[in-house]
């Protein structure tokens, strides 16, 4: 299926002389690396789907609201092994540290020339409670920019993917972001930070400002990766959130960019893997959202 004409130009990323190949030494094409990401996401999702409600042991991480399950780790192992089967020299940044030891993979750095950034189970809290909104997120970064990514919404069994210059797709069909230009009439999605201090205070203040704007509605799914994909596909018009990590955003960033959305950090600055939040929407709506957020 051909990619439809976007209402907004793709933004933030331009092709350069290196972008047509994934590895400067391995010679993978962009199509190859996209397939690697897709297959890795499928491998992780298969583990999660097979677990069902048998989530295994649950362990608290940084706070009582931030947990990890045995399924998170098992999915991470499956993802890493899938990628290493294609590229044994791949390096990784993974949410769950245990995966490094279980796979003997190489831990990379966000500013490395190339590194895979993985969230094996984005939406663990939803998974623990049986709330059907959690995903697998897999992205390849080159010099800090996501160049290919895949997000698999496990409950819906929908695979979102994109690579620079190839457009964004859901289950093989081209997608594009919505064209709503104003807050009035827009449906926004957001999430709540694990840090229940100042970040949450600001989050709630901004949430109230959006509702009073008024936006048409606000939704909270519990998976930043899925939220990005909802914007990329036009199901939602904009997404913003404080307190995110690189693995929450990386795959969603390239998918949204290729769908025609503008992506920045939470203060409107250029997005990087070290950004602590995100704003995503078509360019006109993004400007309106940024104005509300920066007022707080």
CATH for 30-175, options being 3.30.465.10, 3.30.540.10, 1.10.3720.10, 3.20.20.140: 3.30.540.10
Task: Using the predicted structure, report yes or no on whether residue 22 has a pLDDT greater than 70.
Answer: no
Q: Which fold has domain 187-294?
A: D-Maltodextrin-Binding Protein; domain 2 (3.40.190)
Taking 60 as the threshold, does the pLDDT of residue 4 lie above it? no
* The two structure tokens encoding residue 269: 């600055």
pLDDT tens digits, one per residue of 234-249: 999 999 999 999 999 9
Please report, for the chain, the start and end positions of each structural domain, with discontinuous segments joined by +.
30-175, 187-294
Which residue bears the tokens 């047509």?
20
Is residue 210 a contact partner of residue 266, using CB atoms and an 8 Å limit?
no
Give the pLDDT of residue 60.
Answer: 78
Q: Residue 47 has which token pair?
A: 């583990």
Average confidence (pLDDT) over 221-232: 98
């Amino acid at each position: 299926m051909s990619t439809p004409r976007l209402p907004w130009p793709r933004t933030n990323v331009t092709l350069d002389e290196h972008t047509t190949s994934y590895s400067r030494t391995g010679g993978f094409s962009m199509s190859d690396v996209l397939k690697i990401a897709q297959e890795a996401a499928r491998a992780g999702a298969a583990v999660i789907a097979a677990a069902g409600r048998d989530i295994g042991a649950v362990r608290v991480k940084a706070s009582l609201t931030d947990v990890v399950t045995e399924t998170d780790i098992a999915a991470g192992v499956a993802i890493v092994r899938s990628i290493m089967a294609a590229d044994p020299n791949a390096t990784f940044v993974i949410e769950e540290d245990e995966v490094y030891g279980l796979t003997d993979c190489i831990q990379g750095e966000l500013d490395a020339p190339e590194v895979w950034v993985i969230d094996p189970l984005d939406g663990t809290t939803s998974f623990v409670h049986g709330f059907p909104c959690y995903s697998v997120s897999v992205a390849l970064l080159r010099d800090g920019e996501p160049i290919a990514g895949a997000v698999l919404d496990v409950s819906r069994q929908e695979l979102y993917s994109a690579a620079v210059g190839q457009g964004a797709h859901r289950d093989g069909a081209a997608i594009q972001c919505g064209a709503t230009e104003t807050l009035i009439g827009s449906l926004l999605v957001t999430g709540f930070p694990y840090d229940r201090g100042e970040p949450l205070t600001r989050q709630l203040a901004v949430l109230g400002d959006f509702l009073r704007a008024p936006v048409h509605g606000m939704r909270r799914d519990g998976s930043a990766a899925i939220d990005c994909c909802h914007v990329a596909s036009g199901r939602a018009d904009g997404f913003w959130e404080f307190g995110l990590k690189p693995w929450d955003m990386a795959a969603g960033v390239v998918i949204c960019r290729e769908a025609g959305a503008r992506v920045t950090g939470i203060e409107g600055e250029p997005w990087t893997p070290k950004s602590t939040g995100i704003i995503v929407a078509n360019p006109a709506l993004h400007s309106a959202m940024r104005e509300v957020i920066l007022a707080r």
